[in-house]
């Protein structure tokens, strides 16, 4: 049984794939915890779609794909910040406008450059087995930056997520903090590029965090459990993909969904016994 898990990683390309999967398994659920608690799941999906424009521009210009995707994510964050100044626009509308604008740009660029239409499918659906040492180094640096930001701002993030009005009154710069969250989300999407792909990045952002919320009673517990579930999804999904000869990104995503399904079933009796006053509490 042990060999079933270890045999795939006797190959060097699978070792690199595992390292890439572990980075995604830690970072995406960490950022996804705040996305889930802030009810911003649509934003995670939108960020993945919007990054396509940056990927397309970078590919045509011969730049790093990572730089292009990260740039598109930051542009989307800035565009949302500008649109948010109009009090007549709601948050979901702002996200939708920014997503459509950048996603449409990406589609137009791809439609005008037939030479990149096939190659970009690797970034849409992931190609974790082709990750290079250089890709790993870049992803590791980005992951450390995002992790450091979340750890240093953990208290402010918690305050701004659960009670932004009170957080502003006690000195937390909520608007600036929101931009930090958007930047961390953009980094998480970029790190997911070659593992689960842009279109599947939402799976690792949302699903482990949602599953962890079912088990958790505190924010710290939810965060740590989400990361643990993300790592488990990445490792098990990648191993299954090797043995089943299936698409790694989709297999990892489905493994995360499977963990969520099991968590839902196992915690159902526990949630049914919670007092009504606590049934709606967040972690």
Alpha carbon distance 14, 12 (integer Å): 5
Domain ranges of the chain: 2-266
Say whether pLDDT at 283 is over 60.
Answer: no
Say whether pLDDT at 264 is over 50.
Answer: yes
Listing DSSP states for 55-116 in one string gives HHHHHHHT--HHHHHHHHHHHHHHHHHHHTTSTTS-HHHHHHHHHHHHHHHHHHHHHH-GGG
DSSP state of 20: H
In which band, very low, low, confident or very high, does the pLDDT at 68 lie, cut at 50, 70 and 90? confident
pLDDT digits (tens, 9 = 90+) for 174-231: 778 888 888 888 888 888 876 777 767 888 999 999 999 999 988 889 999 999 999 9
- Residue 65: phi and psi, rounded to 5, are -60, -35
What is the model's pTM?
0.83
Alpha carbon distance 57, 109 (integer Å): 7
Say whether pLDDT at 280 is over 50.
Answer: no
Which CATH superfamily is 2-266 part of? ABC transporter involved in vitamin B12 uptake, BtuC (1.10.3470.10)
Say whether pLDDT at 101 is over 60.
Answer: yes
Q: Please, are residues 37 and 282 in contact by the beta-carbon 8 Å criterion?
A: yes
Max CA separation in the chain (angstroms): 59
């Amino acid at each position: 049984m042990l060999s079933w898990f270890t045999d795939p990683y006797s190959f060097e390309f699978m070792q690199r794939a595992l390292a890439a999967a572990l980075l995604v398994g830690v970072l995406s659920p960490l950022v996804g915890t705040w996305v889930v608690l802030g009810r911003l799941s649509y934003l995670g999906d939108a960020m993945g779609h919007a990054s396509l424009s940056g990927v397309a521009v970078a590919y045509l210009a011969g730049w790093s794909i990572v730089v292009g995707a990260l740039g598109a994510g930051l542009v989307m964050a800035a565009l949302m910040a500008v649109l948010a100044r109009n009090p007549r626009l709601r948050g979901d509308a702002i996200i939708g406008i920014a997503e459509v604008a950048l996603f449409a740009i990406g589609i137009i660029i791809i439609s005008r450059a037939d030479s990149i239409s096939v190659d970009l499918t690797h970034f849409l659906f992931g190609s974790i087995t082709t990750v290079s040492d250089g890709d790993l180094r870049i992803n590791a640096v980005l992951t450390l930056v995002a992790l450091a930001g979340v750890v240093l701002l953990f208290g402010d993030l918690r305050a701004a997520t659960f009670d932004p009005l009170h957080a502003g009154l006690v000195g937390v710069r909520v608007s600036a903090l929101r931009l930090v969250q958007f930047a961390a989300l953009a980094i998480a999407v970029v790190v997911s590029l070659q593992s689960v792909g842009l279109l599947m990045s939402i799976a690792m952002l949302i699903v482990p965090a949602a599953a962890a919320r079912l088990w958790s009673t505190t924010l710290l517990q939810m965060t740590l459990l989400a990361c643990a579930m993300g790592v488990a999804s990445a490792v098990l999904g990648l191993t299954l993909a090797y043995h089943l000869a299936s698409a790694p990104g989709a297999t990892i995503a489905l493994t995360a969904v499977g963990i969520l399904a099991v968590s839902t079933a196992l915690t159902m009796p526990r949630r049914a016994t919670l007092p009504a006053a606590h049934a709606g509490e967040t972690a």
